[in-house]
Structure 1
Amino acid sequence: MTSRVSAALDAARAEGRGALIGYLPIGYPDLQTSIDAAVTLAENGVDILELGPPYSDPVMDGLVIQEATQAALAAGFRLRDTFEAVREITRRTSVPVLVMTYWNPIYQFGIDRFADGLAEAGGAGLITPDITPDAAGEWIRASERTGLDRVFLAAPTSTDERLKMIVEASTGFVYTVSTMGITGERADLDAAARKLVSRLREHGAAHACVGIGISNADHVAGVVEYSDGAIVGTALVRALRDGGLESLGETARALSAGTARASN
């Protein structure tokens, strides 16, 4: 089964640009607005949607995203709302939809049950930040059965052996994290991400996209020089929070302007 995520990355590459991957939490500020927000991204230059079901212990998220997910939970979000959101979004746009989720909610819900629900709703796959391929056998089997993409994370601290395992287990792309924990100077982050993407390529990664606190078009332009795409979250969530759908669309368009690659 052809990966819609890989196809979107290849289509961007054929147009001489990197892809823009946009993250939003599902259910913020309410379920319908979060659906409309995802469609707004798709209509304003985002190539792949990354939607996050709110979770009570979002250890890897920054403050802006944490506050949004806590608000969504307080408003009554339930994991099953993910399927309703994905179903309506995929009815309204052909942009592939990945769900980025911590592993415990999926495990509690039922791995096969969640995979079936996501596939039926039209989702493209899962980004799983807190589970490694060697611990994900049941998910790998479910994804192969349903045709969903598996996006695992790679970090600069990963050994070559682990990077090889991540590349072999991932489909769609490898989510490239420049640093773990608190971020430092931007130049250092770029250097770390660039080196990590190079290592992933050496291990055979067809697609690697970078998420490192990217917040403007210049950041996007820098990242797509050496990777397949730039992943943006906080800047989009902040735009939605502060200015609603109109501000979100403007921010997405501004970020998209950075995806064109300089001519060689």
Structure 2
Amino acid sequence: MSRIQQVFEQARARHRAAFVAYVCAGDPDFETSVEVCRALLANGVDILELGVPFSDPLADGLTNQLAAQRALESGMTAARVFELVKRVREFSQAPIVFYTYYNLVFSNGVDAYVRAARAAGVDGILTLDLPPEEAGEVTAACRTHGVDTVFIIAPTTPDDRIPAIAKATTGFIYYVSREGVTGVRDQVASNIPQAVARIRAKTNLPMVVGFGIGTRAQVAEVAAHADGVVVGSALVNCVRENLADRSRIAPAVAARAADLSAGAQRAKA
């Protein structure tokens, strides 16, 4: 059983949804990023989703675009992202999932990239712009090297595509609750219960919901239906808001993560 599978089993046993936190690797610099990861994993985060900084992050809103820009300007490279994972592995064995784009995987050689990710300590890979129908090389490499695959289902995904997406997935389904890009919203999407039921009718894989979730109340609202809840921009904002004094970034992230993750607890039946 993979670490990702273990997290979802443990969460179910504890009557909660798994709390998944997204931050960009290397934002705003390598050492601060290590401390941000430490703060997250010490404050209720079950799965760490690391954005691999990319110059053209088409699925990301302004908050995460600027995070990627800060990381790249600080000197983050593919090799440095792997090094960051190795540093995190010195203090945590929590699952780490890469949130990345296909060009970053392809340009390094798919098998070589997945092998290096696994060697560093990565548990899963979500390639945002790679549909499962074209992901054969990636899924094969992940199968060879013991890395879970994560694929996206959107509100616009037809029912007849869900089985194909599920077949390519070994980690969890990521349901993007809104059309468009990442970013905090005032309210979560209103159709999440129906969307979760629609997907669960086609697969038994764990399903997390992300995009637009940024408060404890919103986490609780989604956790009532999904196996996991993803928060990104609300945490990345803690980095941006404290750039003037970077020693304050990790404590700010810790406080926000602790508050958000509390929302993942469900009332016992």
Q: Corresponding residue for 1:186?
A: 187
User: What's the offset of the Cα at 1:205?
Assistant: 3.0
Query: Unmatched 5+ residue regions in structure 2?
Result: 243-248
Q: Counterpart amino acid of 1:88?
A: R
Q: Corresponding residue for 1:146?
A: 145
After superposition, the CA RMSD in angstroms is 1.5
User: What's the offset of the Cα at 1:169?
Assistant: 1.2
Q: Distance in 1 between matches of 2:252 and 2:108?
A: 35
Q: Is residue 2:247 matched to residue 1:247? A: no
Q: Is residue 2:39 matched to residue 1:34? A: no
Q: Counterpart amino acid of 1:246?
A: P
Residues 150 and 170 of structure 2 are in contact (CA less than 8 Å); yes or no, is this contact kept in structure 1? Answer: yes
Q: Distance in 2 between matches of 1:216 and 1:171?
A: 29
Return the TM-score normalized by structure 2.
Answer: 0.93
Q: Counterpart amino acid of 1:190?
A: S
Q: Distance in 2 between matches of 1:22 and 1:185?
A: 19
Q: Secondary structure at the match of 1:231?
A: strand
Q: Corresponding residue for 2:2?
A: 3
Give the 3 Å change call, closer, same or farther, for CA 90–190 of structure 1 in structure 2: farther
Q: Secondary structure at the match of 1:190?
A: coil
Q: Is residue 2:42 matched to residue 1:43? A: yes
Q: Distance in 2 between matches of 1:205 and 1:81?
A: 36
User: What's the offset of the Cα at 1:71?
Assistant: 1.3
Q: Deviations over 1:175-222 (max 9, x none)?
A: 0011222688735x131x322221211112320000021101101101
Q: Counterpart amino acid of 2:252?
A: S
Q: Distance in 2 between matches of 1:97 and 1:107?
A: 20
Structure 2 counterparts to residues 199-238 of structure 1, below 5 A: 199-238=198-237
Q: Corresponding residue for 2:100?
A: 101
Residues 173 and 207 of structure 2 are in contact (CA less than 8 Å); yes or no, is this contact kept in structure 1? Answer: yes
Q: Secondary structure at the match of 2:157?
A: coil
Q: Is residue 2:168 matched to residue 1:197? A: no
Q: Corresponding residue for 1:21?
A: 20
Structure 2 counterparts to residues 124-163 of structure 1, below 5 A: 124-163=123-162
User: What's the offset of the Cα at 1:240?
Assistant: 2.3
Q: Distance in 1 between matches of 2:14 and 2:186?
A: 32
Query: Unmatched 5+ residue regions in structure 1?
Result: none
Q: Distance in 2 between matches of 1:102 and 1:224?
A: 27
Q: Counterpart amino acid of 2:258?
A: R
Q: Counterpart amino acid of 1:217?
A: R
User: What's the offset of the Cα at 1:81?
Assistant: 1.1
Q: Distance in 2 between matches of 1:198 and 1:6?
A: 20
Q: Corresponding residue for 1:164?
A: 163
Q: Distance in 2 between matches of 1:195 and 1:212?
A: 17
User: What's the offset of the Cα at 1:14?
Assistant: 0.5
Q: Corresponding residue for 1:261?
A: 266
Q: Distance in 2 between matches of 1:169 and 1:231?
A: 21
Residues 5 and 96 of structure 1 are in contact (CA less than 8 Å); yes or no, is this contact kept in structure 2? Answer: yes
Q: Counterpart amino acid of 1:103?
A: Y
Q: Distance in 2 between matches of 1:190 and 1:82?
A: 36
Q: Deviations over 1:99-122 (max 9, x none)?
A: 110111111111111111011111
Q: How many residues align?
A: 261
Q: Distance in 1 between matches of 2:193 and 2:142?
A: 29
Q: Is residue 2:111 matched to residue 1:112? A: yes
Residues 178 and 190 of structure 1 are in contact (CA less than 8 Å); yes or no, is this contact kept in structure 2? Answer: no
